[in-house]
Structure 1
Amino acid sequence: MTAEFGVLGAVEAQIAGRSVDLGHARQRSVLAVLLVEAGRPVTIDQLIDRVWGEDAPQRADGALYSYLSRLRRAVAEATEVKIERRSGGYVLTADPQTVDLHSFRRLHTLARSAESDKSAADLITQALGLWRGEPFAGLDTPWLASIRQALLSERFAAELDHNDVLLRLGRHGELLPSLSAAVAESPLDERLAEQMMLALYRSGRQADADEQYRRIRRSLADELGSDPGTGLSRLHERILAADPTLTVAPVETRGPQAPPPARPSVPAQLPADVRAFTGRAREFAALDRSLEPPDGDEPPLTVVLLSGTAGVGKSALAVRWAHRVREAFPDGQLYVNLRGYDSEQPVAVGDALAGFLTALGVGGPEIPPGVEERAGRYRSELTGRRMLVLLDNASSVEQVRPLLPGSGSCLVLITSRDSLPGMVAIHGAERINLDLLPMADAVVLLRRLIGARVDRETSVAEDLAGACARLPLALRIAAELAAVRTDVTLAELVGELGDHRMRLDLLDAGDPRAEVRAVFSWSYQNLPGDAARVFRLLGLHPGDTVHVEAVAALTGTEAGEARRLLGVLVRASLVHVGRGGRYGMHDLLRAYAAELAVRHDSGPDRKAALTRLFDHYLAGAVAAMDTLYPDGTEPDGDPDTARGWIEAERPNLAAACTYGAAHGWHRFAVALAGTMFRYLDAGGPVAEAVAVTASAVSAAVALGDREAQARALSDLGRLHRRQGRLDEAVDTYRRSLALYADLGEHAAEAVALRNLGSVHWRLGNYRQAAENYRRAGERYERLGDAAGQADASVRLGLVDARLGDEEQATKRFASALDLVTRLGDRFSEAYVISLLARLSRRPADLERAATHLEQSLAVMRQAGDRTGEAYVLTDLGVVYARSGRLAEAADHLRNVVVLHRRIGDRASEAEALNDLGQVLLAAGDAADARAQHEQALALAQEIGDRYEQARAHDGIGGPHRELAQQLFAALAVPLP
């Protein structure tokens, strides 16, 4: 019988037209690996690594043999298909054309060598028609994820080829809808933009083609600070000139033509190519040699280092070469400016890894918290991919080492002012040293940038190049000023430059060749006094970009005046414009501006400027928080506007907080961190919240403010708990508790006791958790705090329920319900009713709980409180499940998992995964249930949550059941 296999979508098999049951996700992952490698042996170790990654169980080989046996039985009817054991491992033998992946590749290859465009179009259409969705849909292993991205890249290449062929055939009209969708998804992709412009132009829409060019030019400037590449710019010029060679007659087509599928995203992070790049032939040749295959048994070259002084053109050369060879890296290009020479804000390795993981398709909450864990996940994501990684402006080996892939399939290109000997000695990097431009090349660059004036003043042009130290960055700035000041001769400009002997050398102190400061000072000296002051003070801003309102606060001017002065700086190429009224500066310019501020503005003036800025940020944060969380009063303002402001300014608020804590604005740091905490805790990035709150702790210590220190420690403990760093949370809460007890702050002490109990609850230390809750309840009772008493009673009831004493739990919940009902606390009332419903057998109790929770859910969603929404959804999902509404329960719990991942609440995510697994099992979906429990187990083991580990083992079943029983027994918890 004939068999057909598919991996370009869900992994599936059909024999004689009938679907084959391929088993659960792990088993299908084994088949997926064999299908990708059809006809080639895969070793046992490779199979285990590709199916489980780093999470392989101790007896993975035994499970693997079981999966292979079941797969053999599943395809036994197809006599031409075999899964055999060979000396090199296991191999699946079948006609490659019965596997959609290999058929796709064959059709695409045939299309590229087709004799006519029509044949090519037909072949690519057939190839793209084999795609049913995302490769290996529903399967999630590091290896499959890496192959998935590689396949999506292949599909994108086929789509681009398809577009080109259809354009040559004159079928531009039918292409417009799919091109429009693809451009909307990837607004910075220049090749797509070229195809869209050409299709628009050939459809008689020249103005729209022009607007498309202007749109991507603006996007490139806003997002990357760069201009369109040569190809795109040249096409635009030809369109404006109505170049007749661009025209092709449209063709008649029979019936509607299905457009190719929308392009999946592939990392393409390279900045735009540099205009008027000149020289460097020797360096290009050396870089090209890095792509040559190694000799003999030598491993491939994986790291190339471009080193040289500041402004010598390392970044420009790296970007130019990367664009030239990007076709050799079909899986994409990653780029990060590490800002290694920024005196205040070099990019942290963890942040760089987080950015790369995001570009590789890893969701934010899935990004591990630690640098080593992120580096491991990053290496796993790159395995099997052919990618170029450009690490720009690195300052040390330590900043680069975690960003190196673990296999030879990728090439890393590093630029640095340091020679980084460790990269050569330890990592086998090929170093290419960049020296100053030869004089002839420097003059050629000036000629290309300035024009005919250089030809009229050739000898002076050499003087100008010498005054710029033949550094490309300085030459470009000088050329820009020369182009603006057309009434001044080059000789006069050289004379002005010669009056300033300063050098901008950043970290390369004393380097006589780094003359960028002279050119920067030349630009600065031509500014009006008020604009010069704005430029200097911008160098003090701790964030990357700044809104005009913040500039007004920093400089003590009105917003309109600040906007006018920023316009002066933009025209002088000292500041670039970003989105939404925001402005930014190149890192060298920022360092230069800060240096000028120290030189020209007194210490009290600089302090006053930053104090105004920080007051502006604190006032804005307070106003936004008062609107979002009005504390029982009508909000003064629009919540959407407030949320938009705080989200846009969040990076600056975080930077200001950490800067303030480190540089003497301690009270500001404490106040801002405390103000932001509720917003960050309600769904903001947990990692960022930790950085801000840790700054508040250090600032409070510096102030000697023990109450502020205790409060910040309490907030930090909560964040550690949500990250799953339970041991750190225990330590932090204990420090907070000791301070509160010593201060006699009994209300805060009660909160700290409750929070400490919550961590012990997660660790499975239920007796210790109950003791903390009991002590908290005693303090609430002495304080007459009914809400606190209710909370303590609920938590003690949860311990009772977990330890199997449902009668005592019911009494505690009923007592708490009486308290919160008298207080009129609707949210707590809904929660306690849901807890009672879980212990009840009466449908009426479940219905009542569902009604209250649905009302709470609507309020949480309206407030934008994602954390509260997740908790209410969890309770609602459990109540629905007990009511027999399993499909609705599963939908709610899936949403809960997504919410906790976005927030970064890993402890709650493990609990939600187990809840979802139980519901799915009750609904009869055993395979998906097991998959959820397996995810929960991995997460619970990582964070040390023993109870959720036990639940996960119990849900997986089989040999895991005994482990579950052992854990439940160790926790003194009855079996569920």
Structure 2
Amino acid sequence: MVRTYVSRLRKLFEPERRPGRPSGLLVSVGDGYALRNDRISSDLAEFEEALTQAERCRVVGDTTGAVRLLRTVQTAGGGAPLAGVPGPYAESARTELTERRLGALELRLSMELELGRHEAAVPELLALRTAHPLRESVVELLLTALYRCGRQAEALEAYASTRRLLVDELGIEPGPSLRAVHARLLAADPALAGPTLIAPAPDTHTRDSPGAAPPPEPEASLPSRRPGAVSPAQLPADLPLFTGRRAELDTLAALLPEGDGPPGTPVIGVIDGMAGTGKTTLAVHWAHRVAHRFPDGSLYVNLRGYDPQGSRMLPGSAIEMFLVALGMTPQTVPEELDAQSALYRSILADRRFLIVLDNARDAEQVRPLLPGTPGSLVIVTSRRRLGGLVAGHGAHPLTTGLLSPEESRELLDRRLGRARVDAEPEAVAAITELCARLPLALAIVAARTAHRPGFRLADVAQELRDHHGSLDAFVGDDAGTDARAVFSWSYHALSPEAAGLFRRLALHPGPDITTAAATALTGAPRREVRALLSELTGASLLNEHAPGRFVFHDLLRAYAAELAEAEDGESARGATLLRMHDHFLRTAHNASSVLGPFREPIALPPSTTGSEPLRFNDRAQATSWLRTERYVLSAIVEHAAAHGYDEHAWRTAAALDVYFNRLGFWHDLLKINSVALEAARKLGDPLGQAYSLCGLGVAHSQLDHAEPASRCLARALDLFRDAGDPFGQARAHRALAYLANRTDRRPAALDHYAQARALLRAEGDRNGEAGVLNEVAWTWILIGDHAKALDCCREGLALHEEMDDPYGAASTQDTLGYAYHHLGRYAEAIEHFERSVSLFALIGDRYLEADVLRHLSDARRATGDREAAREALRSALALLEELGHPEAEEVASALREPDTDEPVAPKGR
């Protein structure tokens, strides 16, 4: 049968071949047949070759050449691939080829946008969207192109129509990547503006063509720094006493081209080696030496790949930190990793950044953090050799070994003084070898010895020999590379109290620890704990990386954890953890009470540990603590749930909801309440479940997850009803009303607010009732009935003033101003906005003061007083910058925009 088929194929493909002559296409090989590919020409092969060549051009930075190659194939195509070929295999191949063809077309159009050819790309994108209306990647390109053409209204309409189509046809919302582009469009993100136009080169041109010129280099036509772009400078401080590593520095220097221009392609350097060899020190030192070559800024993150608590940083968390550093607000960061990574690469495109990814666990943790376009430099440090980055991304590996004897001596020389080192050369050689020439070990010994100028170096060497042990992380090929003696020697030289604190610090799960938290771990007076922390930092066993904030090197944390396991019993460790969780729960509760003094409290059970929580005099203090402890608090909630402190888990999460919600940390709110809910379920505590579900519902509402938000809040309401908790029911109704307003269900919102008000009135909570009236007023503003909104505001304001609640009064004054603004009564709007600003300033709530100042700016501009409007914005910017709030860049951007004479309405909440 095979012979028959081959014969027929030869006749079909080679009809002119004479009988008896060998085939030039289907040739006999042994007892089979082979197809000579070099004799075949197909549009598929040409298409694949064009894609391959285009990708090569793009890698070397020749985007113009890549676009020209993709134009040589008809990526849009007039008909279906494999037309007329029957069978399921052909149908499957047809689908795959259609998708590849569309992908190639999208790739070319995206590169056209990179080159600034948005005007020419718009007609193609409009046609492509018409042909494939549900293809979100096409809509993303279209939004970007329309925005760059100054057609923002059309871009917004394109998004709105796509969203309607997705909801109507598929019952789904747009994906996170498309939502992120929409958010950037609304925020007028400078990074969305794109590059300067690069004119397309002719499709056909030769060197001898009259007037022909080579295509322009894309990088040469782009600005070195985008106007208005954020330029972070996140590198840690360089080590003043850095010594040695000359060969490694020369190797790293070879990664960059000669001159001051950016690298031609993204350069990735991977510094690997055993723990303690100074990988981070080397990376940071070299980064400081070359940072001037990257004018768009530097990014740094410790990925905590070997954190002994298992809390290594997820790529999504690292990208979120970078995106916020690059000017995005937390609430506009997409949720899914793919969308986060795509947005991150888009912001970095055609810019020149220096990126240090410290302490990576594996290549998978690093890949989402790599830029996708030329110009940036990435330095990765890891204990592992990341072969996946070398093979898959062309990374340049560099392994840091031990210091040479000469470099080790130079290190001791710099830290102890040349005279002392020269006086005992044999002891110096012994210390060097007993420390295995490990930089971290040598630094600890040198710090200890420098504080003991009367010690002979021979005595130091002998003590190292006497306490010779092993540290698993430093096991080498022979006993000379075992450095645990260094850690044990430093540890045993501590006072008993400092040694106890050293062990207890390892039980803390956060990325760093404050003096107050350290005090909670020990139960000792704070003055004594400060002295013990000074002793630990002086012995180089702890680093004070910010005033009052301490961090372990990961190896020292592992060593301290080993000691805690060996020297402290299970009951002692349990008592330490209980004190720690009591401290954070009660401090978070105090902060929440200061931020919402009239809010219904969640009663705490009596403390049995005597742990003294922090107390706050005003909102500024409470907000400052919450801001600096944000990541620690998330880790504390997770740690509590994982180690059996379930009641602490859900109660701490509930205490954080006011702050996390107000400042837009909704992903954090979602995470901690998910953990809290599981903890409350383990306890069988319906009230804990109700509060956790309420927090989850609020987070889902803010993130526009309408269905899960509704489900969580409805279940929370049922649980509050079963528990007979009217305040909890009112809280759930208010959250359901807020969700109804976000989903354009105004009657449902008013109904929920009415039920919440009735519950609070029955309990005599006049202040809570006043808060509901303010929220009802806001609903009437959304409906467009501003007269009813004014009535609700006046009634609520009277209650707030009766209860002497300046916060509620300030919030209601803001709503009054908003209603008057929409009625065109700008003078009255300004009067109420100014009262609100004064009250928030008196309270000390800097964020809400800044928020109302922005409303005041809008009202003043509506009257034509542009200078007063800008002054209000400048005041808001100063407050937001003081807080380090991500909205500061949004206000700064508004100040950079030219004034117009058109009246504006204030932004909604």
TM range (shorter): 0.5 to 0.7
Distance in structure 1 (CA, Å) of the matches to 2:199 and 2:257: 36
Distance in structure 1 (CA, Å) of the matches to 2:498 and 2:452: 18
**Amino acid of the structure 2 residue aligned with 1:420:** L
2:319 corresponding residue in structure 1: 353
Do the aligned partners of 2:441 and 2:486 also contact (CA within 8 Å) in 1? yes
Alignment partner of 1:343 is 2:422: no
2:274 corresponding residue in structure 1: 309
SS at structure 2 position matched to 1:341: coil
Distance in structure 2 (CA, Å) of the matches to 1:65 and 1:559: 61
1:158 corresponding residue in structure 2: none
2:542 to 572, 575, 589: 575
Distance in structure 2 (CA, Å) of the matches to 1:822 and 1:338: 51
Do the aligned partners of 1:146 and 1:384 also contact (CA within 8 Å) in 2? no
Query: Structure 1 residue 486: deviation in Å?
Result: 5.2
Q: Residues 814 and 548 (structure 1 numbering): CA distance in 2 closer, same or farther, change over 3 Å?
A: closer
Q: Residues 274 and 725 (structure 1 numbering): CA distance in 2 closer, same or farther, change over 3 Å?
A: farther
Distance in structure 1 (CA, Å) of the matches to 2:198 and 2:276: 59
Q: Residues 639 and 321 (structure 1 numbering): CA distance in 2 closer, same or farther, change over 3 Å?
A: closer
Distance in structure 1 (CA, Å) of the matches to 2:465 and 2:867: 77
Ranges in structure 1 where 5+ consecutive residues have no aligned partner: 1-36, 68-81, 90-105, 107-142, 153-264, 937-946, 949-976
Query: Structure 1 residue 591: deviation in Å?
Result: 2.6
Question: Mean Cα displacement is larger for which, 369-378 or 817-826?
Answer: 817-826
Do the aligned partners of 1:395 and 1:417 also contact (CA within 8 Å) in 2? yes
Do the aligned partners of 1:424 and 1:430 also contact (CA within 8 Å) in 2? yes
1:697 to 642, 656, 677: 677
Query: Structure 1 residue 411: deviation in Å?
Result: 1.7
2:217 corresponding residue in structure 1: none
Query: Structure 1 residue 600: deviation in Å?
Result: 1.0
2:357 corresponding residue in structure 1: 391
**Amino acid of the structure 1 residue aligned with 2:275:** A
Cα deviation, 1:683-730, whole Å, max 9, x if unaligned, reads 475555555444433432333222122113223332443455555533
TM-score, normalised with respect to structure 2: 0.64
The 5-angstrom pairing of residues 224-623 of structure 1 reads 267=233, 269=235, 271-273=237-239, 275=241, 277-279=243-245, 281=247, 283-292=248-257, 300=265, 302-344=267-309, 345-362=311-328, 371-439=337-405, 441-443=407-409, 445-446=411-412, 449-450=415-416, 451=418, 458=425, 461-485=428-452, 488-506=455-473, 515-577=482-544, 579-623=546-590
Cα deviation, 1:227-255, whole Å, max 9, x if unaligned, reads xxxxxxxxxxxxxxxxxxxxxxxxxxxxx
Distance in structure 2 (CA, Å) of the matches to 1:801 and 1:693: 31
Q: Residues 624 and 800 (structure 1 numbering): CA distance in 2 closer, same or farther, change over 3 Å?
A: closer
SS at structure 2 position matched to 1:390: strand
Query: Structure 1 residue 427: deviation in Å?
Result: 1.8
**Amino acid of the structure 1 residue aligned with 2:300:** Y
CA RMSD across the alignment: 5.3
Q: Residues 596 and 542 (structure 1 numbering): CA distance in 2 closer, same or farther, change over 3 Å?
A: same
SS at structure 2 position matched to 1:58: helix
Cα deviation, 1:639-697, whole Å, max 9, x if unaligned, reads 65555555555554444334323323333333333334334444475555555444433
Q: Residues 559 and 661 (structure 1 numbering): CA distance in 2 closer, same or farther, change over 3 Å?
A: same
Do the aligned partners of 2:329 and 2:886 also contact (CA within 8 Å) in 1? no
**Amino acid of the structure 1 residue aligned with 2:742:** R
Cα deviation, 1:437-470, whole Å, max 9, x if unaligned, reads 4455545545555545655655554443332223
Distance in structure 1 (CA, Å) of the matches to 2:386 and 2:536: 36
Distance in structure 1 (CA, Å) of the matches to 2:658 and 2:234: 36
1:129 corresponding residue in structure 2: none
Distance in structure 1 (CA, Å) of the matches to 2:777 and 2:856: 19
Distance in structure 2 (CA, Å) of the matches to 1:449 and 1:905: 41
Query: Structure 1 residue 513: deviation in Å?
Result: 7.8
Query: Structure 1 residue 389: deviation in Å?
Result: 1.8
**Amino acid of the structure 2 residue aligned with 1:58:** L
Taking only the aligned residue pairs, the percentage that are identical comes to: 33
Query: Structure 1 residue 737: deviation in Å?
Result: 2.7
**Amino acid of the structure 2 residue aligned with 1:763:** T
Distance in structure 1 (CA, Å) of the matches to 2:856 and 2:295: 46
Alignment partner of 1:662 is 2:642: yes
Q: Residues 330 and 503 (structure 1 numbering): CA distance in 2 closer, same or farther, change over 3 Å?
A: farther
1:121 corresponding residue in structure 2: none
Ranges in structure 2 where 5+ consecutive residues have no aligned partner: 1-63, 69-110, 123-136, 152-195, 204-219, 601-614, 804-808
SS at structure 2 position matched to 1:147: coil
Distance in structure 1 (CA, Å) of the matches to 2:703 and 2:885: 6
Query: Structure 1 residue 863: deviation in Å?
Result: 1.8
Q: Residues 540 and 319 (structure 1 numbering): CA distance in 2 closer, same or farther, change over 3 Å?
A: same
2:226 to 144, 147, 155: 147
Distance in structure 2 (CA, Å) of the matches to 1:565 and 1:662: 29
Distance in structure 2 (CA, Å) of the matches to 1:329 and 1:819: 55
2:142 corresponding residue in structure 1: 58
Q: Residues 467 and 787 (structure 1 numbering): CA distance in 2 closer, same or farther, change over 3 Å?
A: closer
Do the aligned partners of 1:274 and 1:316 also contact (CA within 8 Å) in 2? no
Query: Structure 1 residue 414: deviation in Å?
Result: 1.0
1:757 corresponding residue in structure 2: 737
**Amino acid of the structure 1 residue aligned with 2:725:** E
1:47 corresponding residue in structure 2: 116
Query: Structure 1 residue 757: deviation in Å?
Result: 2.9
The 5-angstrom pairing of residues 692-841 of structure 1 reads 692-766=672-746, 768-769=748-749, 772-773=752-753, 776=756, 806=785, 814=791, 821=798, 824=802, 826=809, 830=813
**Amino acid of the structure 2 residue aligned with 1:861:** A
Do the aligned partners of 1:657 and 1:668 also contact (CA within 8 Å) in 2? yes
Aligned residues: 700
The 5-angstrom pairing of residues 899-914 of structure 1 reads none
Q: Residues 463 and 398 (structure 1 numbering): CA distance in 2 closer, same or farther, change over 3 Å?
A: same
Distance in structure 2 (CA, Å) of the matches to 1:334 and 1:491: 44
2:186 corresponding residue in structure 1: none
Q: Residues 379 and 859 (structure 1 numbering): CA distance in 2 closer, same or farther, change over 3 Å?
A: same
Query: Structure 1 residue 782: deviation in Å?
Result: 7.2
Query: Structure 1 residue 781: deviation in Å?
Result: 7.6
Query: Structure 1 residue 521: deviation in Å?
Result: 0.8
Distance in structure 2 (CA, Å) of the matches to 1:771 and 1:906: 35
Q: Residues 304 and 85 (structure 1 numbering): CA distance in 2 closer, same or farther, change over 3 Å?
A: closer
Do the aligned partners of 1:697 and 1:709 also contact (CA within 8 Å) in 2? yes
Do the aligned partners of 1:554 and 1:610 also contact (CA within 8 Å) in 2? yes
The 5-angstrom pairing of residues 59-138 of structure 1 reads 87=201
Query: Structure 1 residue 538: deviation in Å?
Result: 2.3
Question: Mean Cα displacement is larger for which, 465-474 or 265-274?
Answer: 265-274
Q: Residues 572 and 637 (structure 1 numbering): CA distance in 2 closer, same or farther, change over 3 Å?
A: same
**Amino acid of the structure 2 residue aligned with 1:504:** L
1:924 corresponding residue in structure 2: 902
SS at structure 1 position matched to 2:271: strand
Do the aligned partners of 2:816 and 2:829 also contact (CA within 8 Å) in 1? yes
**Amino acid of the structure 2 residue aligned with 1:575:** L
Distance in structure 2 (CA, Å) of the matches to 1:322 and 1:301: 15
SS at structure 2 position matched to 1:304: strand
Distance in structure 2 (CA, Å) of the matches to 1:147 and 1:812: 44
Query: Structure 1 residue 798: deviation in Å?
Result: 6.4
Distance in structure 2 (CA, Å) of the matches to 1:327 and 1:761: 50
TM-score, normalised with respect to structure 1: 0.60
SS at structure 2 position matched to 1:405: coil
Q: Residues 286 and 831 (structure 1 numbering): CA distance in 2 closer, same or farther, change over 3 Å?
A: closer
Q: Residues 362 and 830 (structure 1 numbering): CA distance in 2 closer, same or farther, change over 3 Å?
A: closer
**Amino acid of the structure 1 residue aligned with 2:268:** V
